[in-house]
Amino acid sequence: FFVAVAVARAQVEQEASLETTEGTGINITCSHPKIQTSETIDWYRQLPGRGPELL
């Protein structure tokens, strides 16, 4: 699947895209200088022709 992020006025650092096949693991990393260790990042995926889905 394809990974993308939209954050208003943010300097998010992550891979532009990642691909994998079904049944194969993948590690997705993301960082932002203003996110504290006690805060979380929500991950969504959006498949072609569909709306975003919370992972």
Residue 17 belongs to domain spanning = 1-55
pLDDT, residue 15, reads 72
Contact 20, 31 (CB under 8 A): no
Domain count, the chain: 1
pLDDT, residue 54, reads 92
Q: What are 21-54's pLDDT values in tens digits? A: 888 888 877 777 777 777 777 888 888 899 999 9
Phi and psi, residue 16, nearest 5°: -65, -40
Structure tokens at 48: 């072609």
**Unique residue bearing structure tokens 């006025």:** 9
**Unique residue bearing structure tokens 């990642």:** 18
